[in-house]
Amino acid sequence: MKNIIKKIIFYFTSVLTALKYRKYLTVKKSVLFDLKLTVSSENIIQCNHALLKKSNINIQGQNNHVIIDGQILTTKILMVGQNNRIIIRKNTKFVNSNIILRGNDCIIEIGCNSTFGSGLYMVCMGNKNQIKIGEDCMFADNVELWNTDSHAIKDMKGVTINLSKPIHVGDKVWIGKNSTILKGVNIGNGVVIGINSLVTKDLPSCSICIGSPAKAIQNNITWERNFITE
């Protein structure tokens, strides 16, 4: 009985939320509960088979587009600029996360079946910059991704010397707790990154990488999402 009542409450809450924000929110077979949206005109949020609960989405600027097919729980999304995209594909899950995008023509894209532990901090800034994460990835708690230094450093001629650079994470990558991924990094498929690692350079596919800066210590490995039994 309690489950039935809960489903009814979620249904009516979702309908009311969709009606309240109908100018820029489209909803298809999604559950929206305790959701706060602050969105300026000419921006779009699209929810397809999604679950958004106790989360906050703030979009400033024009022609920005957020597409969510996964689960967004107690998470904050901030987007500032023009012509930006955040694409969160099906069966993904964010819990207690912060996603920040500031710039123009930037994109954050998360592949299907990827999951993120509590405390994720993802920052994308600049022009035509990217953070792309593949399918079936598993991020532990307190992982950070920065494809930018946030503030410009200039030489004496006024030229910026610390440009923002994309981050690309392949499919089936496991990133350990308290690790940080910095700008300009490409992480191959099937990589395992150890706890407290700092990734500053590309990492080869199917390798175990640890340290600060992170380096491959073993190649030709694979890993399983299920809890270990041996």
Q: How far is CA 86 from the centre of its chain?
A: 8
Per-residue pLDDT of the chain (230 residues; tens, 9 = 90+): 455 444 444 444 554 465 466 577 989 989 998 999 999 878 999 999 999 999 999 999 999 999 999 999 999 999 999 999 999 999 999 999 999 999 999 999 999 999 999 999 999 999 999 999 999 999 999 999 999 999 999 999 999 999 999 999 999 999 999 999 999 999 999 999 999 999 999 999 999 999 999 999 999 999 999 999 98
- What pLDDT sits at residue 41? 79
- What pLDDT sits at residue 19? 47
Instruction: Enter the pTM of the model.
Output: 0.90
**Length of the chain in residues, anyone?**
230
User: What is the amino acid identity at position 181?
Assistant: I
In this structure, what are the phi and psi dihedrals at residue 16, rounded to the nearest 5 degrees?
-65, -40
Instruction: Measure Cα distances from 178 to 51, 139, 153, 208, 212 in Å.
Output: 26, 10, 27, 16, 12
Cα distance between residue 107 and residue 102, in whole Å: 10
- What pLDDT sits at residue 17? 60
End-to-end CA distance of the chain: 40
- What pLDDT sits at residue 3? 53
Q: Which long-range contacts (CB under 8 A, 24 or more apart) does 182-187 make?
A: 182/146, 182/147, 183/146, 183/147, 183/148, 183/149, 184/147
One DSSP character per residue, the chain reads -HHHHHHHHHHHHHHHHHHHTTTTEEEES-EEES-EEEE-TT-EEEEES-EEES-EEEEEEES-EEEE-SEEES-EEEEEEES-EEEE-TT-EEES-EEEEEEES-EEEE-TT-EE-TT-EEEEEEES-EEEE-SS-EE-TT-EEESS-SS--B-TTS-BSS----EEE-SS-EE-TT-EE-TT-EE-TT-EE-TT-EE-S-B-TTEEEEETTEEEEEES----SSPP--
- What pLDDT sits at residue 13? 53
- What pLDDT sits at residue 10? 46
